[in-house]
Amino acid sequence: MSTPPLLPHVERMTGYVPGEQPRDPARIIKLNTNENPYPPSAKVAEAIGAALGDGRLRLYPDPTALRFREAVARRHGVSPEMVLAGNGSDDCLTILTRAFVGPGDVLAYPTPSYVLYRTLAEIQGARAVEVLFRPDWTIDPDDLAASGARLAFLANPNSPSGTAIPPGAVAELARRIDCPLVVDEAYGDFAGEDCIRLVSELENVVVTRTLSKGLSLAGLRIGYLIARPGLIDGLLKVKDSYNCDMLSLLGGSAALDDEDYTRSVRDRILATRARLAEAARSLGYTVPESHANFVWCEGGPPAEEIYESLKGRDILVRLMRYPGRPAGLRITVGTDEQIDRLLDAMREIVGGR
């Protein structure tokens, strides 16, 4: 029998391809998927170790993730009723799309941005409407308002640019549209400001967050969204019952509570980020001011060539191509030592051209 046909709209999809995860990451300087170069809080292993030791794993996890939601609430000064836990923030984005976007509906988002948004629209048989960022990485509210969206995503800070729109301008966007505006703050831990207070001020603002970046837990798969309690009730209907496993919830809660550790890691990354951005500019790249744990390099020495040469030296960065603009390099902020090696290699490659 031949392969059974998929639904026509699934048949047409390309599907999202995440950044490369090499088989032997220990050998590679891995600066391509914005992981944190520092280990998670030691409290994470303690919490997970205790659960592994006492036999709790034979039980299902708490489907309401109450303890975890309480840790999120403490961190952000919101109530636990405003929090929904997800299997990574991608899961939160999926839940939102499932709940708000049906066949033929419009899912709008700025571009260039997180490539997954298009795939989420396509899975629903919906229409992805991409609103072009202005050259300074701001958004014209008229463009977003004209999209006719049932749901809008805004990565803020944005990937790949690392740029951020201030909360006042985000509020203006939210006021101009008739649908939920999801502010995807996957990189919010590296930014000066966040939009969480807008959730209380405006009915249509939702914020998503991850523990993958600022809290060094990409491997655990845990994130959350913050919304009005009435909206959370609706979203609960479409999430998988046990979307977060017990170890992720325990480890995630421990990480959220270890604020001093999170702050110290963040401070180190911000210092390295400033150095990396400056060095990339001196190599000829245009690097917008980053509010995330990566920098975006455009317009300098050809991105494809630098990407390949770096890869040949076991240094992996992300080559990104968006329609209508030259390819660029998105480089994750690693440890100081990793960034020194990257910069030495880049200087050598550029000097030898």
Q: How far is the CB of 242 from ligand PMP (least distance, A)?
A: 17
Which CB sits closer to ligand PMP, 89 or 243? 89
- 276, 295 in Cβ contact below 8 A? yes
List the strands of the sheet with 181-184, edge to edge: 83-86, 223-226, 205-210, 181-184, 151-155, 106-111, 127-132
Q: How far is the CB of 59 from ligand PMP (least distance, A)?
A: 25
Which residues in the 30-69 window bind ligand PMP by CB under 6 A? none
Q: How far is the CB of 54 from ligand PMP (least distance, A)?
A: 28
133 vs 143: CA distance, rounded Å: 10
- 204, 84 in Cβ contact below 8 A? no
Q: How far is the CB of 317 from ligand PMP (least distance, A)?
A: 15
Q: Measuring CA to CA, how many Å separate 311 from each of 157, 193, 322?
A: 27, 35, 21
Which CB sits closer to ligand PMP, 13 or 115? 115
Residues 6+ apart with CB under 8 A from 85: 65, 68, 69, 72, 222, 223, 224, 243, 244, 249, 252
Which CB sits closer to ligand PMP, 226 or 345? 226
Among 32, 124, 212, 253, binds ligand PMP (CB under 6 A): 212
Which CB sits closer to ligand PMP, 297 or 346? 297
Q: How far is the CB of 210 from ligand PMP (least distance, A)?
A: 3
Binding mask 318-337 for ligand PMP (x = CB under 6 A): --------------------
Which CB sits closer to ligand PMP, 239 or 349? 239
Which CB sits closer to ligand PMP, 21 or 79? 21
Which CB sits closer to ligand PMP, 185 or 349? 185
Among 122, 130, 184, 189, binds ligand PMP (CB under 6 A): 184
Which CB sits closer to ligand PMP, 41 or 332? 332
Residue 186 found at the interface with ligand PMP (CB under 6 A) = yes
Residue 274 is which amino acid?
A: A
Which residues in the 80-139 window bind ligand PMP by CB under 6 A? 88-90, 114
Q: How far is the CB of 56 from ligand PMP (least distance, A)?
A: 24
Binding mask 231-270 for ligand PMP (x = CB under 6 A): ----------------------------------------
- Site for ligand PMP (CB under 6 A): how many residues? 12
> For residue 253, what are its two tokens?
């809660």
Q: How far is the CB of 92 from ligand PMP (least distance, A)?
A: 8
Which CB sits closer to ligand PMP, 127 or 318? 318
Q: How far is the CB of 4 from ligand PMP (least distance, A)?
A: 30
Residues at the site binding ligand PMP, with contacts judged by CB under 6 A: 88-90, 114, 155, 159, 184, 186, 210, 212, 218, 223
